[in-house]
Amino acid sequence: MKSIFTLLSAAGFLAMAAGCARVETNKQDGTIHPDESPLQGAVTSQDIRTVASKMAPAILGLPEISGGDAPVRILISEFKNNTRFLIDKNLFAKRLRIELNQYGQGKIRFIDRNANVQRDRAVAVRDRQEYLIQQNLKTLGKEIAGLELMQRSDPVKIAVIPVLNTNLVNMNADSFTAMLRSEIVQAGKGKIQFLMPGTLAGADYYLTGQFIPESMKKEGIINLANYIEVIDARIRSGQSMTLDDGTVPASPEKPQIYTRIGQQESELVRMLRNPELRKNPNVNKRLNIMLVKPDTKVAVYEKMFLLDRKFSSREGRAQFILSGEISALSQRRQGTASDYLLVSVQLVDLESNEIVWEGAYETKKLSRSGIVYQ
């Protein structure tokens, strides 16, 4: 009996061991050559590499590319996929760009359109522009302090009139004029004095100016001389330099009886309150600084410099556009699919819209049902 029990226990143990044993599979891992195709049908890596290696030499050999000394700038347009295959159509453009950069010997420059790059570039450009503004204000302050009309035995008194058009481009005029005033005083070494804000009496010169947006849109800017006239009249009547202080109504749509200065003042208030004019357009914005004689309203000094750059991807600098299209003619019979693929690439002159070069790669794919997903 004991022997039988021992045999049964051993058999049970072996059965349990067999049930827990790992089942061997035929799974294989490995690396294949980029030009090998482990699956039938569809667009393969070999197709992408062949397109690039075939078309890059043809593009580099064009007179428009190889004929000049300066690099040619190319903008890559998004490739279009007209086939039934689910593929990253821009793989063709990326591989072709790599090939052209590798063998182009500096003859070609590509305009980048990557969203992440553009975001980081915008931050870097803005930071660089802020540094340039500080340097420009420092240089401008030294230049104004060194003017011959500032070289007097008694101190020159300057009154600051707020810069015109701040409402149009949404720039902080007070900060720029305050920084410039500080640079002028520092460079003047006691020869130049500024009157308190809101005071014009006794000034030898007015320091003023205007923001100028480089825009095709008509901004409705009032003449700077008329603006100074309005400020003069407000100060003489005991008002502040701040136009939008609630004391002046905006000019209505229907004309009313105003004095000439009153009409200009009311129009300025309308511009300040108009939300459409307070938008910050993406254009180059320049600051034009002037020193004006109070009695004659003649600008004895004037200087303009860039304050804010228009941000763009610089696509307008491109001379050519590289575009492509993936087309197919597909047939299916008894579970077998046949696909004729045509990959065409064009180089288009940006100015004339002429196709200066066109290349094509064609292949035929055969696949069985279930290999290519639809």
pLDDT in tens, 293-330: 998 888 999 998 887 777 777 777 899 999 999 998 88
pLDDT band at 276 (very low <50, low <70, confident <90, very high): low
**Segments making up each domain of the chain, as ranges:** 39-113+317-368, 153-308
Helix (H, G, I), strand (E, B) or coil at 260: helix
Q: Report the alpha-carbon distance of residue 339 to residue 179 in Å, rounded.
A: 69
* C-alpha distances in Å from residue 67, one per residue of 62, 92, 355: 8, 26, 17
- For the segment(s) 153-308, the CATH number from 3.20.20, 3.40.50, 3.90.550, 3.30.70 is 3.40.50
Task: Name the token pair of 249.
Answer: 């109504």
Q: Report the alpha-carbon distance of residue 282 to residue 171 in Å, rounded.
A: 12
Over range 287-297, report the average pLDDT. Answer: 89
DSSP-derived secondary structure letter, 35: T
Quickly name the fold that domain 39-113+317-368 has.
Rossmann fold (3.40.50)
Compute the half-sphere exposure of residue 234: CA atoms within 13 Å on the CB side of its CA: 22
Contacts of 308 (CB under 8 A, 6+ apart): 129, 169, 171, 284, 285
Number of Cβ within a 10 Å radius of residue 95: 19
Per-residue exposure over 222-244, b if at least 16 CB sit within 10 Å of its own CB, e if not? bebebbbbbbbebbeeebebebe
**pLDDT on residue 142:** 94
Q: What is the pLDDT of residues 265-275, one digit of tens each?
A: 666 666 666 66
For the chain, what is the mean pLDDT? 78
Alpha helices for the chain (secondary structure H): 2-20, 45-60, 63-66, 90-103, 115-145, 166-169, 173-188, 224-236, 260-273
Same CATH topology for 39-113+317-368 and 153-308: the answer is yes
| Distance from chain centroid for Cα 2 | 89
Residue with the bigger pLDDT between 110 and 279: it is: 110
Q: What is the pLDDT of residues 156-172, one digit of tens each?
A: 999 998 887 644 555 66
Q: Which range, of 3-7, 88-92, 195-199, averages the lowest pLDDT?
A: 3-7
Longest dimension (CA), the chain: 132
**pLDDT on residue 175:** 80
Q: Are 179 and 135 in contact (CB under 8 A)?
A: no
Q: Report the alpha-carbon distance of residue 79 to residue 63 in Å, rounded.
A: 24
* Most confidently modeled range among 108-122, 179-193, 231-245: 179-193
